[in-house]
Amino acid sequence: MLLWILLIFSISAHATHQRAAEITYTHVTGLTYEFTITMYTYTPSPADDVRTTLPIRWGDNTQSDIPRIVFQALPNNYTLNVYQMRHTFPASGTYVISVEDPNRNFGVVNIPNSVNVPMYVETKLVINPFLGVNNSVQLLNPPIDQGCVNRLFVHNPSAFDSDGDSLAFKLASCRGTNGQVIPGYTLPMASVRFEIDPRTGDLVWQNPMLQGEYNVAFTVEEWRNGQLIGTVTRDMQILIGACNNNPPVISAPDETCVLAGNFIAFQVSATDPDNNAVVLTASGGPFAQPSNPAVINPNPASGTPTATTSFQWSTQCSHIRRNPYDVLFKARDIHPEVSLTSFATIRLLVMAPPIQSLQATALGNGINLQWTAYNCGNASGLRIYRSLGQSPWVPLQCETGVSPGSGYQLIATINNPSATTFRDDANGLGLSPGNDYCYLVTAVFADGAESKASNPACARLRRDLPVITHVSNDSLNLNSGQVLVRWSKPTELDQQQFPGPYEYKLYRLTGITGQNPQLIHTAQGLNDTVFVDNAINLNNQSGGLSYEVKLLSTTIGDIGTSRRASSVLLTTRPTDRAIILQWQTNVPWNNTRTEVFRKAAGANEYTLLGSTQGSSWRDESLANGNTYHYYVRTIGAYSSPGFVSPIVNFSNIATAVPVDDTPPCPPILNVTPDCERVENLLSWAKLPDSCGYDLKRIRIYFATGPNAEYRLIDSLGPNATSYLHQKERFVVGCYYLKAIDSTGNVSEASNKVCIDYDACPLYEIPNFFSPNGDGSNDVLIPMGYPSVNPAANINRIDLTIFNRWGNVVFKTDKPEIHWNGKVMGSGPDVADGSYFYVCEVYFEGLEGEVKLRLQGSITVMR
């Protein structure tokens, strides 16, 4: 038995070698990907030589032995191991690929008993045909680094994504057996902070407090079109020494941009404050391009105390992408004790060049656009933007696309990037002669990149047709709902081509988009441009009305028709002590602001509530059950001169009664476990009056885990702000709250709070006790017991204690142990001395049972 125990320790000691690891992949074809495991191990370990394969789990219920293809000894007892293999997945889906290998190297400061803790890393692959194929991020800087006590430490992985996806960085916990977070794992101690920049990936440790070896982990997320498409988790090792050294200081621009097809160059230098020699290198996406990659010259650069290099890149269209490239410069000093590094990341955007020579020409009821054929063949299409009138917007030097605040709106997308013409006639409805129309054209690419905007081009239609200016509820009698229609006569009509006499035909259409035209009025001559439609009540039209005016020559027939213009359609939505107003129009002029009016039941006059540039208004502090009447007044103008300005139109009258249909906002829940009493204290703040003025009850829900079914465990009054949950076997579980108001509206669930087994202190067995009957330390119990109650999170244990000959002297499955120093608890006293134990601890976790293995020695001394 003793031989078996010693064998366990012997195997553990000889199998400890893992220092750092990560898994990356590239797409091959279809559902086949090539995976690469990069590991750094401890060179003197015998396990280094024999680990020619590793077991890899593919996340599809299969696993393989992945072969090693690189085995290279490095300085400072590091060995580079690279394993590579292809795998074909059965279908689209999300797969977690993982590797677990025993064990980590001895003496990692922030991992208890690291010599017996496996190395576990995982990578997530999302196969989604709608998002396109994905290649994982590649981490170009190795996962081993070193620093000094009380000196700023910075590491950057130099992450490069060949697909141009957006990257985000997050700290993660180092993991061990079965991918579980290592019990007792902590972030390294820092005098100020230990964090990772979510955008650049700079891992900042300010400042290390103790020398030694540390392991930390972080995850790099890939995002595409707002969806997570993959992750890579790196587990890296940092060696902190006691040294008197400072890292170099890098001087470099923060960010820059270049038009594809142009050459870019800039200098970067690094100076060591201690006058040590410096080596300056660079990595990142521009250097990994298959065609025309970037270079630095010299590479590497070195000098004492300053090293200088020049970044040089002759860009081309294939380098265009939506997200900037990260160019990472790394400076390392040459120091006899510990060489320190510093990093600087430069964001470099390769912009698509603009469309050239855009021209706009008015013809008939539309405008024709023409431009030079685009010279980047990898574009996927073109975009057409339009504004009413000239816009003052001027794009910034590194700005691509068209800014939402520019005044331009996207009106068309052309899937043919070779196109050189486009006609804008408002999709067949025709443009209005009352406006100046200005245009921009851009090129777009498969990853969402957009070129710089073209030159603006503007044109104006001839005023040879009538132009509607008003479709308004009659302001002299809003309750009647009769519609006032006005239009401007044509001032540039070619009367030789279209001789008189002339007449207008006015058509009414249903809805603000205009359906089922109906002739309602005929006017003789060009000067009769006003009509009051009293045959209809606008206040009763739930979808609004539209109008158009046709111009005819009684000599030769139809000349043309104006652009349609709709009434202002006002709708209301009642809610709790408030009414939400929304309005719509479909008019050829530009409305710049809207004024809102209200009249309460019993009042004689409408009052102005305010004005907005939007299309909605929330009227608050109302009384539920009362009736309120509203109308709005829009104010706008045409962009061309010669029209009435401002153009003012009144909406229909809309009536609403506010009702309480709004649930209270959910409370914000906090849960504090008590590991001695095995109970959880739930607490929350009282809801503010703005969303809980009529709160009636707080409902409390509980589940044994995040995937278990929640059940209602209690309901409290409106003034309660805490609840003590008892009578559960463990503190492990999840909670949320819901609030209910006086009319029965139920809030959404609050934040869910889960208490896992690690919320209580770790289970530890003392290494000494004295069963001499003096009332002090007479029995072996867990550390901290009973204030640290193992019953709070431990289901059972399997503890076996051996003497030095390997004979069992005590066994128990009770977490409290209570060994009195006698053989099997009831036999004779054991002799003073050292005893060995092996203990399996079974925690009750949120995801089920979690097992922790402990082994060590206990000294009995009476």
For the ranges 179-183, 444-448, 450-454, 822-826, the one whose mean pLDDT is highest: 450-454
Biggest CA pair distance of the chain: 128
Model confidence at 434, in pLDDT bands (50, 70, 90)? confident
CB atoms within 10 A of CB 365: 20
User: Residue 9: which pLDDT band, with cuts at 50, 70 and 90?
Assistant: very low
Distance CA 652, CA 537 (A): 9
CA atoms 334, 338, 344, 345: torsion sign: positive
Residue-level pLDDT at 310: 97
Q: In whole angstroms, give the CA distance from residue 705 to residue 683.
A: 19
Residue 2 pLDDT > 50? no
Predicted pLDDT at 8: 31
The pLDDT of residue 48? 63
What is the distance, to the nearest Å, from the Cα of residue 497 to the centroid of all Cα atoms in its chain? 62
Could you report the per-residue pLDDT of 14-65, keeping only the tens digit for each? Answer: 345 889 999 999 999 999 999 999 999 988 876 666 789 999 999 999 999 9
CA distance 655 to 573: 10
Q: What is the pTM of this model?
A: 0.64
Q: Categorize the per-residue pLDDT at 862 as very low, low, confident or very high, splitting at 50, 70 and 90.
A: confident
Q: Is 80 exceeded by the pLDDT of residue 11?
A: no
**What is the average pLDDT across 616-625?**
93
**629 vs 783, higher pLDDT:** 629
Least confidently predicted of 259-263, 302-306, 493-497: 493-497
Q: How far is CA 787 from the centre of its chain?
A: 42
Highest mean pLDDT among 310-319, 737-746, 755-764: 310-319
- In the sheet with 669-674, reading across from the earlier edge strand, the strands are 669-674, 679-684, 722-725
Query: Taking the alpha carbons of 566, 570, 573, 579 in that order, is the dihedral positive or negative?
Result: positive
- Give residue 432's pLDDT band: very low, low, confident or very high (50, 70, 90): confident
Pairing of strands 628-637, 647-650: antiparallel
H or E stretch at 43 = none
Mean residue pLDDT of the chain comes to 92
In tens, the pLDDT along 74-90 reads 888 889 999 999 999 99
pLDDT score, position 1: 35
Report pLDDT digits (tens) over 664-684. Answer: 999 999 999 999 899 999 999
Specify the DSSP element, H or E, that contains 12.
helix 2-14
Cα distance between residue 680 and residue 694, in whole Å: 28
Tokens of 170: 């997050």
Binned at pLDDT 50, 70 and 90, residue 649 comes out as: very high
pLDDT at residue 601, rounded to an integer: 80
In the predicted structure, residue 5 carries a pLDDT above the cut 50? no
pLDDT band at 614 (very low <50, low <70, confident <90, very high): very high
The pLDDT of residue 10 is above 80: no
Residue 805: pLDDT band by 50, 70, 90 thresholds?
confident
SS (H, E, C) 829-845: ECCCEEEEEEEEEEEEE
Q: Which residue has the tokens 């509530």?
A: 609
Give the pLDDT confidence score for residue 16 in this predicted structure: 58
Of the pLDDT bands very low, low, confident and very high (cuts 50, 70, 90), residue 214 is very high
- Give pLDDT, residue 787: 76
Q: Is the pLDDT of residue 170 over 50?
A: yes
Tokens linked to 564:
């349609």
pLDDT at 842 over 50: yes
Interacting residues of 332 by C-beta distance below 8 A, sequence separation 6+? 248, 278, 279, 281, 339, 340, 341
